Amino acid sequence: MDTVVSGIRPTGFLHLGNYFGALRNFIKMQNDNNCFFFIADYHSLTTHPTPADLHTNIKNVLIDYLAAGIDPEKSTIYVQSDVPQVCELTTLLSMNVYVGELQRVASFKEKVRRQPNNVNAGLLNYPVLMAADILLHRADKVPVGKDQEQHLEMTRDFAQRFNHIYGVDYFKLPVAYNFGQQLVKIPGLDGSTKMSKSDNEASCIYLSDEPTVIRKKVMKAVSDSGPTEPNQPKAQAIENLFALMAAVSSPETLAFFEEKYNTCQIRYGDMKKQLAEDIVNFTAPIYERIKELRSNDEYINRVARQGAEKARASADQTVGNVREIIGIKHF
């Protein structure tokens, strides 16, 4: 049985990018793998949330997870900071990670560009903490979106380095996973190539958005004045509408609008209306469960506590083994 680990930062509500990038694959794997899904609250501290926001966001993400179909009876679902063993593993791994390689990471360079006044050490060390999350349970597979590919590559590097330095075959080399398919990147409604809350809140559709909000957002999505000749290449914003449609609509609906586009008969208003309805249909059952779970604090608390216990047991074992390999012994 393979071990699967995946995580999500609690920066607000879950959006369709999170769902199609990471969550959907994870949900599909729950029945026949040993699955760990966690809320990466340590990671989210790099952007300095207020204490009140942090806790609310963690709770919202936990609710969204469960509503989307993560089953706490099948998977271990927990909050990262409930398993502080991950910090010890991060420290131990970081002794063999070089500052230069961390400075070259694409996501770090982007943060330096975007938030030059907050280039904290947590940002630099982000990939080591992420590797520790994954190696903590000795994962084989990590269902993630395209944007996490480089972090996974680094996780493999660190794991391999550890095995090599200590002459062991302890860590497996985990792979970014999407059932043999390319990793996905769900685009934004604003014409950007990635749906992302930190880039532009308006680009996102949340699993917890009300139908009226979804319709409004989709109708406002960026488009253009339409093709002027048959089979014209699509502008990015139009590619995005088709990519979203490919994710939520039937193949027939997608083919219908492709045909309209290729024959210059497309009316984006009609396409957006259809897309909005298909998103609403897709999120409706999740949205209903979110509403139910929001009024069930007792259940949410129990899930978090039980998940933490299971995750700590797995983490204790790994950290114990790693200490032994390194030569840290109790007196």
Note the residues at the interface with ligand TYM (CB under 6 A).
Answer: 5-9, 17-18, 20-22, 40, 43, 130, 133-134, 142, 144-145, 147-148, 151, 184-186, 194-196
Is 111 annotated as catalytic? Answer: yes
Which CB atom, from 6 or from 249, has the smaller least distance to ligand TYM? 6
Give the E-state strand segments of the chain in sequence order.
Answer: 3-8, 34-39, 76-79, 141-142, 175-176
CA distance 155 to 316: 20
Which CB atom, from 79 or from 266, has the smaller least distance to ligand TYM? 79
Tell me how far, at minimum, the Cβ of 291 lies from ligand TYM, in Å.
Answer: 23
Q: Determine how β-strand 34-39 pairs with β-strand 141-142.
A: unpaired
Main-chain dihedrals φ then ψ at residue 249, nearest 5 degrees: -100, 170
By the 10 Å C-beta count (0-12 exposed, 13-18 middle, 19+ buried), 263 is classed as exposed
Which CB atom, from 121 or from 167, has the smaller least distance to ligand TYM? 121
Is 109 annotated as catalytic? Answer: no
Tell me how far, at minimum, the Cβ of 196 lies from ligand TYM, in Å.
Answer: 6
Tell me how far, at minimum, the Cβ of 211 lies from ligand TYM, in Å.
Answer: 21
Token match 């590559």: residue?
Answer: 153
Strand-pair partners of 39: 8, 79
- Report how far apart, in Å, the C-alpha atoms of 211 and of each of 63, 127, 261, 286 are: 19, 37, 27, 12
Which of the following is catalytic: 59, 141, 197, 272? Answer: 197
Tell me how far, at minimum, the Cβ of 131 lies from ligand TYM, in Å.
Answer: 8
Which CB atom, from 76 or from 227, has the smaller least distance to ligand TYM? 76
CA distance 326 to 322: 6
Which CB atom, from 39 or from 304, has the smaller least distance to ligand TYM? 39
Pair 241, 271: CB distance under 8 Å: yes
Which of the following is catalytic: 59, 74, 109, 111? Answer: 111
Buried b (16+ CB within 10 A) or exposed e, 86-124: bebbbebbbeebeeeebeebeebeebeeeeeeeeeeebb
Is 217 annotated as catalytic? Answer: no
Contacts of 212 (CB under 8 A, 6+ apart): none
What residue number has its CB nearest to ligand TYM? 21
Tell me how far, at minimum, the Cβ of 9 lies from ligand TYM, in Å.
Answer: 4
Which of the following is catalytic: 59, 141, 194, 272? Answer: 194
Tell me how far, at minimum, the Cβ of 126 lies from ligand TYM, in Å.
Answer: 7
Which CB atom, from 130 or from 322, has the smaller least distance to ligand TYM? 130
Contacts of 306 (CB under 8 A, 6+ apart): 72
Which residues are tagged catalytic?
111, 194, 197
